């Protein structure tokens, strides 16, 4: 983004995760590397939520900013909304961006459903993790071992959330992920791993019925991944990506 904007542009990255989150490189290490690059002077990172950046005064009910100049030309939400905890959190972000009069949003997120058989394991793995997340108690403190996939709403549902709080979908489409992109393979491999099974078996808050359903999901991922690996495709592929340009409704 910084390269595309040119020397007069600036990119602000916002992330709620602690610097030691992530593997094999942490967020802190990745940000440090970016800031030391040739484009580093055009970028800054803020740790915290969007509200702290868009509304530093902290008054979520103050509409006086509606006629003021927007603090940013656009917001980019690229493969980020699946990390959110709930639909309420996603709607709140869209509302914040609307109140701040950010004129448009560029959005890219996994479609949420498979369009080809080789994408089924990725779709099922995401649904498995989303179901586990939905069964956990709300309001738990952040943990560096939290999975990336949380609420994981289909892209179509996310667009409806945006439209409900004042955004208009100006254009949208689907694109296939590169065949060498490994996210689908990684998510499927994680869900069938002993680590994932241990993570939900250790959850005291989960009912026996929920754990049984998770076991069923895991077996479905295993079965579908095995079908793909025995086929001519040989490797699990990523779901398609839905992209959209959102503009503030008049």
pLDDT digits (tens, 9 = 90+) for 100-143: 999 999 999 999 999 999 999 999 999 999 999 999 887 665 55
| pTM of full prediction above 0.85 | yes
Under DSSP, the state recorded for 249 is -
Q: What is the pLDDT of residues 170-181, one digit of tens each?
A: 999 999 999 899
Whether 210 shows a pLDDT value over 90: the answer reads: yes
Confidence of residue 184 (pLDDT cuts 50, 70, 90): very high
Region of poorest pLDDT, from 2-6, 54-58, 120-124, 243-247: 54-58
Cβ neighbourhood burial of 155 (10 Å; 0-12, 13-18, 19+):
buried
Query: Which residues fall within 8 angstroms of residue 167, CB to CB, at 6 or more apart?
Result: 94, 98, 105, 246, 247, 248, 249
Give residue 219's pLDDT.
98
What is the DSSP secondary-structure string of 118-131? Answer: GGHHHHHHHHHHHH
Residue 203 has pLDDT above 90, yes or no: no
For the chain, report the end-to-end CA distance as a whole number of angstroms.
Answer: 27
Query: Are 31 and 43 spatial neighbours (Cβ–Cβ below 8 Å)?
Result: no
In which element (H, E) is residue 35 found?
helix 27-35
The secondary structure of residue 204, as a DSSP letter, is: T
Q: pLDDT at position 136, please?
A: 85
The DSSP-derived string for 59-81 is -TT--GGGGSPPS-S-EEEES-G
Average pLDDT of the chain is 90
User: From CA 135, how far away is CA 207, in angstroms rounded?
Assistant: 9
Cβ atoms of 100 and 66 within 8 Å: the answer is no
Sign of the four-CA dihedral 14, 17, 23, 24: positive
Within a 10 A sphere around the Cβ of 7, how many other Cβ atoms? 10
Residue 66 CB coordination number (10 Å):
10
Paired tokens of 199: 């993570």
Q: Given this model, what pLDDT does residue 67 score?
A: 43
Give pLDDT tens digits for 85-103: 999 999 999 999 999 999 9
Percent of the chain predicted with pLDDT > 90:
72
By the 8 A CB rule, do 133 and 151 touch?
Answer: yes
- Average of pLDDT values for 2-11? 93
Torsion angles phi and psi, residue 153, rounded to 5? -75, 145
Q: What pLDDT sits at residue 56?
A: 67
pLDDT tens-digit readout, 30-64: 999 999 999 999 999 998 888 888 876 665 455 54
Mean pLDDT value of segment 236-243: 97
Q: Which two tokens stand for residue 49?
A: 């939520």
Integer Rg of the chain from CA: 19
For residue 65, pLDDT over 50 is answered with no
């Amino acid at each position: 983004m910084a390269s595309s904007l040119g020397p007069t542009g600036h990119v602000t990255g916002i992330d709620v995760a602690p610097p030691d989150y992530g593997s094999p490189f942490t967020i802190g290490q990745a940000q440090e590397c970016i800031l030391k690059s040739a484009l580093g002077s055009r970028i800054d990172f803020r740790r915290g939520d969007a509200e702290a950046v868009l509304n530093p005064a902290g008054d979520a009910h103050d509409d006086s900013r509606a006629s003021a100049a927007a603090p940013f030309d656009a917001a980019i939400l690229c493969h980020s909304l699946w990390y959110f905890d709930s639909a309420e959190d996603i709607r709140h972000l869209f509302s914040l961006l609307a109140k701040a009069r950010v004129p448009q949003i560029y959005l890219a997120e996994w479609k949420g459903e498979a369009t080809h058989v080789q994408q089924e394991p990725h779709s099922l793995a995401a649904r498995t993790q989303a179901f586990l997340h939905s069964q956990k108690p709300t309001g738990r403190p952040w943990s560096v071992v939290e999975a990336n996939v949380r609420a994981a709403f289909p892209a179509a549902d996310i667009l409806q959330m945006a439209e409900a709080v004042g955004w208009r979908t100006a254009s949208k489409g689907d694109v296939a992920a590169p065949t060498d992109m490994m996210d689908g393979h990684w998510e499927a491999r994680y869900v069938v791993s002993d680590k994932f099974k241990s993570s939900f078996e250790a959850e005291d808050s989960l009912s026996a019925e929920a754990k049984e359903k998770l076991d069923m999901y895991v077996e479905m991922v295993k079965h579908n991944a095995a079908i793909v690996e025995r086929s001519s495709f040989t490797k699990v592929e990523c779901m398609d990506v839905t992209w959209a340009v959102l503009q503030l409704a008049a």
